[in-house]
Structure 1
Amino acid sequence: MVLAAIFAIVYQNSIAGLVFWLGAVSHWIPDLVVSRADLPFLWLGEHDRELGTGLWDLPKRRLPSNTCLSLLVSS
């Protein structure tokens, strides 16, 4: 998300920076649902909370959850 701000400043285009930021957030949210608890919340280093539900580790729930997320995002 810091990269989105840098992108907006370098190219002097806040709309492009916003689109870049929305792309990052829209990718982080599905990762939060399926990934292990290894996603940093505030990027504070060692003292940051790591989030995730761990659905990726459950093979029987992996396909249905990814299918539902794909349908939700694409609609």
Structure 2
Amino acid sequence: MKQPEQNTGANARVTDNEFLKLASRAVSATSDLGPVSVDPDVAEAMGAIDEPALSLDDALDSHFDGEDPTAIEEVKGHG
């Protein structure tokens, strides 16, 4: 496998791929201290996904695993 040539001095450059790897390591190390703002491109390189938030109704429904807790009381004769 061919090794990339080393650029040093005034002509040193970092490729996009190398930058994302270095930035990912920096975010990982810094996040040990608390929350960190992350550039979207770096977050994507780290495997982050964009997921929309739940609506209020969906969030409330998620607490009941699809079962209505009041229906159980009615079946037992307590409702």
TM-score by length of 2: 0.27
TM-score by length of 1: 0.28
Name the structure where helix makes up a greater proportion of residues: 1
Name the structure where strand makes up a greater proportion of residues: 1
